[in-house]
């Protein structure tokens, strides 16, 4: 989410009056803003996308809730020491959080472990350990529309009778200390981006979020007075008309078996009706095709932690494979490929397969990514249910990523085309009529130069690095990952360095290359890439022959608040992932919106950006699926095969 103060003032339309009022009091609003911690409750693009969607939904006046975990420690703070990353805990709640309101009246129980027993009324999950989910509500103000939605974050709370056994044994102190064990569920965010780590505590977190959220949704559905209500039970058939559950990747995919469990074991509908309700309520957004990122939980972990859910998943899979069998009789290999249960090696549950089976809609996050899903990773599922598969190209909120972070450019745009673009971004095309106007060009360039100067001053003040504000700001900020190819950028730096050294008097456009981003603490290669960039920077920055021509800066602790300061100052945006690996990217759009040029591959949303701006306005390199497709077609036509 980043910070809330400035965003709230902007969306409420009170920024300038607050600014003025504080000035009258002898205070500086910008100084106060710097005191707020970032809410860093996600890892990278996926979490920021959710934050942008919350802003957009509130601005559209949609009745939407965001649900998540109130991690006591968010994404770690990154320190660069001797060129290497060191992690520090993100103790963001240390001084309190004025934006949240605890709602103990809506606290809910979540069960773990235990066993399943057969009773006359059906299956029962018994002898469980209970942890409470305490909700904290965070306001999500719409832009200029008097709407405020809710982001509800769950915090783990030990039940009063936790470890009562110890009380009886007289070990009161130990019983109180052990309350921490249950509350560890919401202690810390797992810091992997696009990597699956099969830790039990992580599975607990995922179920904790789903179980609490579904109880909340069902409570609200029951409390609403629409639809028919039988004397003793709720009619859930109408739930899909009122409730849409959008799964942000597979991380909340336990919502599918959990909704089935609540309906079948507790609320009354028979399996077939419950399944119909579940599939019509749930939809799944896929965020990656990297095999190492796909969640595949060991069955052994489910057996212990969520035994009833494992049974339900097995039954979902049994019925699903019957459908596959009906459609492709005897195709055993297809059955194996499409199963939610992987049997080779350690038995695992494939959460993406479960999500597709349990959803009425499945989407990728950029055109190319949605095509890859249909033609490659989930081809079998596409052949079975083509109507489920869609594309929803990612987006960003233009309020935070232009109005808030680049007020001078915003004002310049509004001067020309009015202010409706803040809620209808397509109106920016109206600017085309001034594209060749030298006065407008000069005004835009002046804003960019001022933004660059401000960033240079900030880097000098906060990090003691001096940069040349008239050099080209070439910026590569995102999580560090091999597929994002910060290493390729580093090799380019070395190439530029060698060129300068070989011919020091040759003409050279002065560049300041800035690279920033966090590596997952356990990602060895990513950490080595950070070290390499810093060691290369040491050589380049201290070579008198290179001088002012080339500087390399590692931007420490990249996060939303730093992005807001860096992006408006960028001349060149680096979006150079290996083609076919970045599902969409959203950093690419933030830079484009702030007037940077892009150098990039035909990957993710870069493809659609290039279509919108024209290939002449973007620097594309590398594998071109479009072109190779066209060449392939031409070859087939030439050979008389098409
Ligand atoms: C937008 C954003 C991202 C995502 O960047 P990509 O270039 O799309 O990977 C990651 N981290 C932060 C802090 C962001 O603001």
Report which protein residue has its CA nearest ligand 1's atom 10: 44
CA 354, distance to chain mean position in Å, is: 21
Contact status, residue 608 vs residue 367, Cβ threshold 8 Å: yes
pLDDT per position as a tens digit, 5-37: 999 999 999 999 999 999 999 999 999 999 999
Strands 101-102 and 84-88: unpaired
* Rounded Cα–Cα distance for residues 206 and 446 (Å): 48
| Nearest ligand 1 atom, CA 585 | 8
Sign of the torsion angle spanned by Cα atoms 534, 540, 544, 546? negative
Sign of the torsion angle spanned by Cα atoms 84, 90, 91, 92? positive
* Rounded Cα–Cα distance for residues 620 and 412 (Å): 29
Q: Does ligand 1 have an atom closer than 6 angstroms to the CB of 44?
A: yes
Q: How many whole angstroms from 486 Cα to the centroid of ligand 1?
A: 14
Structurally, the chain folds into a number of domains equal to 1
For the chain, the residue count is 642
Is 590 one of the annotated active-site residues of the chain? yes
Residue 471 included in any domain: yes
User: Would you state the torsion angle of the CA atoms of residues 51, 55, 60, 66, taken in this order, to the nearest 10 degrees?
Assistant: 50
Percent of the chain with pLDDT over 90: 91
The three-class DSSP label of residue 100 is: coil
Report which protein residue has its CA nearest ligand 1's atom 14: 560
Contact status, residue 591 vs residue 567, Cβ threshold 8 Å: yes
Q: Does ligand 1 have an atom closer than 6 angstroms to the CB of 585?
A: yes
* Rounded Cα–Cα distance for residues 411 and 72 (Å): 38
Report which protein residue has its CA nearest ligand 1's atom 3: 45
The catalytically annotated residue of 374, 400, 478, 481 is: 478
Report which protein residue has its CA nearest ligand 1's atom 4: 45
pLDDT of residue 464: 83
Is 478 one of the annotated active-site residues of the chain? yes
Alpha-carbon distance values, 11 to 35, 139, 142 (Å): 20, 12, 6
Q: Of 38, 48, 484, which is best to mutate to test ligand 1, by the most ligand atoms within 8 angstroms of its C-beta?
A: 48
Residue 444 included in any domain: yes
What CATH number is attached to the domain comprising 472? 3.40.50.2000
| Nearest ligand 1 atom, CA 590 | 1
* Rounded Cα–Cα distance for residues 431 and 606 (Å): 21
Is 242 one of the annotated active-site residues of the chain? no
Q: Return the closest-CA partner of residue 83 out of 553, 601, 638.
A: 553
pLDDT per position as a tens digit, 122-159: 999 999 999 999 999 999 999 999 999 999 999 999 99
Element spanning 391, H or E: strand 389-391
| Nearest ligand 1 atom, CA 588 | 7
Q: How many whole angstroms from 211 Cα to the centroid of ligand 1?
A: 29
pLDDT per position as a tens digit, 401-412: 999 999 999 999
Query: What's 518's DSSP letter?
Result: P
Question: Is the confidence at residue 630, as pLDDT, over 60?
Answer: no
Question: Is the confidence at residue 513, as pLDDT, over 60?
Answer: yes
pLDDT of residue 414: 98
The three-class DSSP label of residue 216 is: helix
Domain around 575: 398-629
pLDDT of residue 239: 96
Residue 321 structure tokens: 């494979």
Is 531 one of the annotated active-site residues of the chain? no
pLDDT of residue 172: 85
Residue 578 included in any domain: yes
- For the chain, first and last CA: distance in Å? 51
Q: How many whole angstroms from 413 Cα to the centroid of ligand 1?
A: 25
Residue 95 included in any domain: no
Assign 488 a pLDDT band (cuts: 50, 70, 90): very high
Is 479 one of the annotated active-site residues of the chain? yes
* Rounded Cα–Cα distance for residues 464 and 483 (Å): 31
pLDDT of residue 57: 98
Residue 467 included in any domain: yes
Q: Does ligand 1 have an atom closer than 6 angstroms to the CB of 45?
A: yes
pLDDT of residue 226: 60
Residue 381 included in any domain: no
Using CB atoms within 10 Å of the CB of residue 588, give its burial: 0 to 12 exposed, 13 to 18 middle, 19+ buried: buried
pLDDT of residue 176: 86
Contact status, residue 142 vs residue 148, Cβ threshold 8 Å: yes
The catalytically annotated residue of 3, 261, 484, 518 is: 484
Q: Of 570, 586, 589, which is best to mutate to test ligand 1, by the most ligand atoms within 8 angstroms of its C-beta?
A: 586
Query: What's 545's DSSP letter?
Result: T
- Alpha helices for 268-401 (secondary structure H): 271-281, 299-305, 307-327, 332-338, 351-357, 367-372, 379-384, 398
pLDDT of residue 601: 98
Q: How many whole angstroms from 565 Cα to the centroid of ligand 1?
A: 13
Sign of the torsion angle spanned by Cα atoms 422, 427, 430, 431? positive
Residue 563 included in any domain: yes
Residue 193 structure tokens: 């981006």
- DSSP string across 582-600: -S--SHHHHHHHTT-EEEE
How many CB atoms lie under 10 A from the CB of residue 115? Answer: 12
CA 146, distance to chain mean position in Å, is: 27
Q: How many whole angstroms from 559 Cα to the centroid of ligand 1?
A: 8
Residue 75 included in any domain: no
| Nearest ligand 1 atom, CA 560 | 13
User: Would you state the torsion angle of the CA atoms of residues 302, 208, 64, 414, taken in this order, to the nearest 10 degrees?
Assistant: -100
Among 226-235, 328-337, 368-377, the range scoring the smallest mean pLDDT is 226-235
pLDDT per position as a tens digit, 219-262: 999 998 665 555 556 899 999 999 999 999 999 999 999 999 99
Q: Does ligand 1 have an atom closer than 6 angstroms to the CB of 586?
A: yes
Is 234 one of the annotated active-site residues of the chain? no
* Rounded Cα–Cα distance for residues 580 and 583 (Å): 8
Contact status, residue 410 vs residue 417, Cβ threshold 8 Å: no
* Rounded Cα–Cα distance for residues 275 and 123 (Å): 17
| Nearest ligand 1 atom, CA 484 | 9
* Rounded Cα–Cα distance for residues 167 and 503 (Å): 79
Question: Is the confidence at residue 181, as pLDDT, over 70?
Answer: yes
Q: Does ligand 1 have an atom closer than 6 angstroms to the CB of 587?
A: yes
* Rounded Cα–Cα distance for residues 6 and 11 (Å): 9
Half-sphere exposure (CA, 13 Å, Cβ side) for 429? 5
In DSSP terms, 550 is beta-bridged to 511
Q: What are phi and psi of 55, to 5 degrees?
A: -60, -45
Report which protein residue has its CA nearest ligand 1's atom 6: 587
């Amino acid at each position: 989410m980043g910070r809330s103060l400035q965003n709230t003032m902007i969306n409420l339309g009170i920024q300038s009056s607050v600014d003025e009022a504080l000035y009258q009091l002898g205070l500086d609003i910008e100084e106060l803003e710097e005191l707020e911690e970032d809410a860093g409750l996600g890892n990278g693009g996926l979490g920021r996308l959710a934050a942008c969607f919350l802003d957009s939904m509130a601005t559209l006046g949609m009745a939407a809730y965001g649900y998540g975990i109130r991690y006591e420690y968010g994404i770690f703070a990154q320190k660069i020491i001797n060129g290497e990353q060191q992690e520090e805990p993100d103790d963001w709640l240390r001084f309190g959080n004025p934006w949240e309101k605890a709602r103990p009246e809506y606290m809910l129980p979540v069960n773990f472990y235990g066993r399943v027993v057969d009773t006359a009324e059906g299956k029962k999950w018994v002898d469980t350990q209970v942890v409470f989910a305490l909700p904290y509500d965070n306001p999500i103000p719409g832009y200029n529309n008097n709407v405020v939605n809710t982001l509800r974050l769950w915090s783990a709370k030990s039940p009063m009778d936790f470890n009562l056994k110890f009380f009886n044994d007289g070990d009161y102190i130990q019983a109180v200390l052990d309350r921490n064990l249950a509350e560890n569920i919401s202690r810390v965010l797992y810091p992997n981006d696009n990597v699956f780590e099969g830790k039990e505590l992580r599975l607990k977190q995922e179920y904790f979020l789903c179980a609490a959220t579904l109880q909340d949704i069902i409570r609200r559905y029951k409390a609403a007075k629409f639809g028919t209500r039988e004397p003793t039970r709720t009619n859930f058939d109408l739930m899909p008309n009122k409730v849409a559950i959008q799964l942000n990747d597979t991380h909340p995919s336990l919502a599918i078996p959990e909704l089935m469990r609540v309906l079948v074991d507790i609320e009354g509908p028979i399996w077939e009706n419950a399944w119909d309700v579940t599939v019509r309520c749930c939809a799944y957004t896929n965020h990656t095709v990297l095999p190492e990122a796909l969640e595949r939980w060991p069955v052994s972990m489910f057996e212990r932690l969520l035994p009833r859910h494992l049974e339900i998943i097995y039954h979902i899979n049994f019925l699903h494979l019957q459908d596959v069998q009906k459609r492709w009789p005897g195709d055993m290999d297809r059955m194996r490929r499409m199963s939610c249960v992987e049997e080779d090696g350690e038995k695992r549950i494939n959460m993406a397969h479960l999500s597709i089976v349990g959803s009425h809609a499945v989407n990728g996050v950029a055109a190319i990514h949605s095509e890859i899903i249909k033609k490659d990773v989930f081809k079998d599922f596409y052949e079975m249910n083509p109507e489920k598969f869609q594309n929803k190209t990612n987006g960003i909120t233009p309020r935070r990523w232009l109005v808030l972070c680049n007020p001078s450019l915003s004002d310049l745009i509004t001067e020309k085309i009015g202010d409706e673009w803040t809620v209808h971004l397509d109106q920016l095309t109206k600017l085309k009529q001034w594209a060749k106007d030298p006065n407008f060009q000069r005004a835009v360039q002046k804003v960019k130069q001022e933004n660059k100067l401000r960033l240079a001053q900030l880097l000098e003040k906060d990090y003691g690095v001096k940069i040349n504000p008239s050099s080209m700001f070439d910026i590569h900020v995102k999580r560090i990952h091999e597929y994002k190819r910060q290493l390729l950028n580093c090799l380019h730096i070395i190439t530029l360095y060698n060129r300068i050294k070989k011919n020091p008097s040759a003409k050279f456009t002065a560049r300041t290359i800035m690279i920033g981003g966090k590596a997952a603490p356990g990602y060895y290669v990513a950490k080595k890439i950070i070290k390499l960039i810093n060691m290369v920077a040491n050589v380049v920055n201290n070579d008198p022959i290179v001088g002012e021509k080339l500087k390399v800066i590692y931007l420490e602790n990249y996060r939303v608040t730093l992005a807001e300061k860096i992006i408006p100052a960028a001349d060149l945006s680096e979006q150079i992932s290996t083609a076919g690996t970045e599902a969409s990217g959203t950093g690419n759009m933030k830079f484009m919106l702030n007037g940077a040029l892009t150098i990039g591959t035909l990957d993710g949303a870069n493809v659609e950006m290039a279509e919108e701006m024209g290939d002449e306005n973007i620097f594309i390199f590398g594998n071109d699926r479009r072109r190779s497709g066209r060449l392939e077609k031409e070859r087939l036509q030439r050979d008389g095969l098409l």
